């Protein structure tokens, strides 16, 4: 019987499911092939990982806004795409009854106020932007949201509206600076919200004060899961039942951060102290870098997401796991905006491409060319 990589238990074939080691929400739905797709993960582990491990990383304040920037850069506005919104935080000085007010920005800097009752929280789960992935439907108050469109260019209006509707699909939606669009998701502003609407409209162009919540360990379990998945994909089969793999499993399934600190797993985490030189090497404009690098008797995973979030972790301390597979290091570069990747490439080739003008790699160059060959946005204002 097959064994699930994440829980290390025997499973029936029908219990297995496809797992994206790099989640689709941050660009892991790669084409034409996906080197980070696993078929050795059971449905239960897949579901739990999405809720309690991937979710806190994907819906972290940094990731949400990094992802928005990366996708917006490559958006084809002529196709009226649905884009993620920037999350600015909770506005403590804007209140309505027992609702909190969260401030978001639309694709052209459009101001969005979302009023709702506080979302539930759970011990040992990092704060998330928007609805927490662990919350049940009956625990969520979808509330209502006002949209104040910034752009006066009609070319942007469908994208702004679709993106707003997609983010708040269960909320009551109001257009704050125009007549209510007919026959769609927008509602007329009721009398009991007229005063609030007038106040929000008067705040147009003003500086807002917003606060955010963020845990420093928001990505620790996520990076351990990625390391375990990468090891299962690229190292030899001995790794699957090794002490190194079991240490990663134990870490990713340990919810209490205090208990995780007691485990002998070495790495930096996303708030750790990677050297600036290493961060510079690991960064790719608007993209992700996934690198396996040999250092003595350890194989290390170095990751950089959206140029802004870097972390490292030991995948294995048993050299036989990567013998003949990793010599010095392997690198993958992912462009989430294009949903394309390059790799695996030798680490020396990657560094030479970045820093040696006459030693460019063809595949990296083609990715750069495609990244730079993007349509110009129509102007926000006309």
The pLDDT of 145-168, averaged and rounded, is 96
Does the pLDDT at position 277 exceed 80? no
How does pLDDT run across 325-347, given as a tens digit for each residue? 998 899 999 999 888 999 999 99
DSSP annotation of 100: E
- How far apart CA 85 and CA 65 sit, in angstroms, is 8
Lowest mean pLDDT among 72-86, 194-208, 265-279, 317-331: 265-279
C-beta separation of 288 from 306 below 8 A = yes
- For tokens 């147009």, name the residue: 204
Q: Where are the beta strands (DSSP E) in 178-307?
A: 288-295, 298-305
Give me the residues paired with residue 156 across strands.
none
Domain segments of the chain as ranges: 13-58+217-372, 80-202
DSSP annotation of 221: H
Q: Which pLDDT score is estimated for 146?
A: 98
Q: CB under 8 Å to 349, separation ≥6 — which residues?
A: 359, 361
Q: Which pLDDT score is estimated for 71?
A: 87
Q: In Å, what is the CA distance from 251 to each residue of 6, 155, 225, 236, 357?
A: 11, 48, 9, 21, 42
- How far apart CA 271 and CA 144 sit, in angstroms, is 35
- How far apart CA 100 and CA 127 sit, in angstroms, is 16
How does pLDDT run across 204-249, given as a tens digit for each residue? 778 889 999 999 999 999 999 999 999 999 999 999 999 999 999 9
The candidate with the shortest Cα–Cα distance to 166, out of 243, 34, 71, 297, is 71
The pLDDT of 292-300, averaged and rounded, is 93
How does pLDDT run across 166-215, given as a tens digit for each residue? 999 999 999 999 999 988 899 999 999 999 999 999 987 788 899 999 99
Q: Which pLDDT score is estimated for 128?
A: 96
The candidate with the shortest Cα–Cα distance to 305, out of 288, 291, 290, is 288
Give me the residues paired with residue 12 across strands.
none
- How far apart CA 84 and CA 67 sit, in angstroms, is 8
CB-hemisphere CA count at 13 Å for 137?
2
C-beta separation of 4 from 41 below 8 A = yes
The pLDDT of 74-86, averaged and rounded, is 90
pTM of this prediction?
0.94
Does the pLDDT at position 288 exceed 80? yes
C-beta separation of 278 from 268 below 8 A = no
- For tokens 């600076």, name the residue: 177
């Amino acid at each position: 019987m097959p064994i699930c990589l994440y829980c290390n238990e025997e499973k029936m074939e029908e219990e297995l499911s496809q797992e994206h080691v790099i989640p689709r929400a941050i660009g892991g739905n790669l084409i034409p092939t996906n080197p980070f797709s696993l078929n050795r993960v059971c449905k239960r582990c897949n579901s739990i990982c999405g809720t309690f491990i991937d979710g806190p990383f994907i819906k972290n304040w940094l990731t949400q806004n990094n992802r928005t920037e990366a996708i917006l850069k490559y958006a084809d506005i002529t196709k009226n795409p649905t884009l993620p919104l920037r999350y600015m935080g909770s506005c403590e000085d804007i209140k309505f009854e027992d609702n909190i007010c969260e401030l978001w920005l639309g694709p052209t800097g459009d101001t969005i106020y979302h009023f709702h009752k506080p979302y539930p929280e759970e011990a040992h789960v990092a704060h998330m932007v928007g609805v927490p992935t662990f919350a049940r439907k009956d625990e969520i108050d979808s509330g209502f949201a006002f949209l104040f469109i910034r752009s006066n260019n009609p070319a942007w209006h469908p994208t702004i509206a679709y993106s707003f509707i997609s983010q708040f699909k269960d909320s009551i939606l109001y257009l704050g600076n125009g007549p209510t669009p007919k026959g769609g998701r927008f509602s007329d502003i009721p009398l009991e919200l007229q005063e609030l609407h007038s106040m929000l409209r008067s705040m147009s162009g003003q500086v807002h004060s917003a606060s955010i919540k963020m845990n420093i360990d928001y990505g620790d379990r996520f990076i351990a899961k990625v390391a375990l998945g990468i090891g299962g994909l690229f190292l030899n089969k001995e790794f699957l039942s090794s002490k190194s793999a079991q240490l990663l499993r134990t870490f990713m399934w340990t919810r209490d951060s205090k208990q995780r600190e007691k485990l002998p797993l070495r790495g930096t985490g996303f708030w750790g102290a990677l050297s600036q030189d290493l961060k510079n090497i690991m960064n790719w404009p608007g993209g992700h870098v996934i690198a396996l690098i040999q250092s003595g008797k350890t194989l290390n995973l170095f990751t950089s997401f959206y140029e802004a979030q870097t972390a490292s972790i030991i995948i294995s301390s048993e050299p036989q796991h990567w013998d003949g597979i990793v010599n010095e290091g392997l690198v993958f570069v992912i462009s989430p905006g294009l949903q394309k990747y390059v790799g695996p490439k030798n680490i020396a080739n990657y560094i030479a491409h970045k820093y040696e003008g006459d030693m460019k790699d063809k595949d990296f160059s083609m990715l750069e060319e495609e990244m730079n060959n993007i349509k110009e946005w129509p102007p926000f204002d006309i």
